[in-house]
Amino acid sequence: MMQPSMPPGVPTVALSCPWCNCPSSPSPAAQECQGCRRKFTLSPGPALDGSVIAPPPHPSAFPIDLKWSIVVTYKFARLEQGGLTSGTLDPVIGMAPIDQVGIPYPDVVSIAVWRKLAWADLIIGALVPVPIALLCLWATILAVPRAPGAAAIFVVIALFFGLLAFYLFRRGAVVGRRQARVVGRHGAVTVLFSRSPAFHSELFRRCGLMAPPLP
Ligand SMILES: [Zn+2]
């Protein structure tokens, strides 16, 4: 793909790998960083590529709200009719923004999307439901000849914790921590959107882009 020329005043971070900030070019599909070999998508926004036009706000466009925690405070992001707003919420009630950056859709220079493993889910899944499920399975095998009633209860418990482990592993490895870095002319934000399936496609649509497949 042709390297778009960087208009004056555009932050250099706009054309970089979201993992390591190594320079990179936009591409319609997922790409692998030349520096760190990790995967991401990088799409040019309306402020970088003249052929991308953010559509006028649709009167019925609903806002999409996200909230996620970072150590002690919460971050939020909101897709509004005219643009994306994101910032930090107060640490006491986690409701009032204490700082925020707004990027109107026509000012979006680039969008990078990448996915990390959600280690907390994977570790909790391996440490809690897996051993309980295995223990109950073992108890089922022992109980079958002597106490079939108890065996039936153990097998139900084993099944429940097996499903819980499956759910946590799926959330950790398949869904993961999905992140989008949106660079505007006058600021950049990073949004964690794992919990909102609609965020990704709506962000791209409102910027006048087709959403690339998730990396
Ligand atoms: Zn990289």
Report the percentage of the chain scoring pLDDT > 70: 96
pLDDT, residue 6, reads: 60
Residues 64 and 155 in one domain: no
Residues 38 and 113 in one domain: yes
Distance from the CA of 168 to the center of ligand 1, in angstroms? 28
Distance from the CA of 126 to the center of ligand 1, in angstroms? 29
Residue 197's domain spans which residues? Answer: 28-117+176-206
Q: What is the pLDDT of residues 61-86, one digit of tens each?
A: 889 999 998 878 899 999 999 999 99
Q: What is the pLDDT of residues 161-181, one digit of tens each?
A: 999 999 999 999 988 999 999
Residues 145 and 131 in one domain: yes
Beta strands in the chain (DSSP E): 27-32, 39-44, 64-70, 73-79, 83-89, 97-104, 108-116, 177-184, 187-192
Residues 198 and 100 in one domain: yes
Distance from the CA of 115 to the center of ligand 1, in angstroms? 13
Distance from the CA of 187 to the center of ligand 1, in angstroms? 21
Q: What is the pTM of this model?
A: 0.83
Distance from the CA of 157 to the center of ligand 1, in angstroms? 44
* DSSP string for residues in 135-163: HHHHHHHHHTTT-HHHHHHHHHHHHHHHH
Number of domains the chain contains? 2
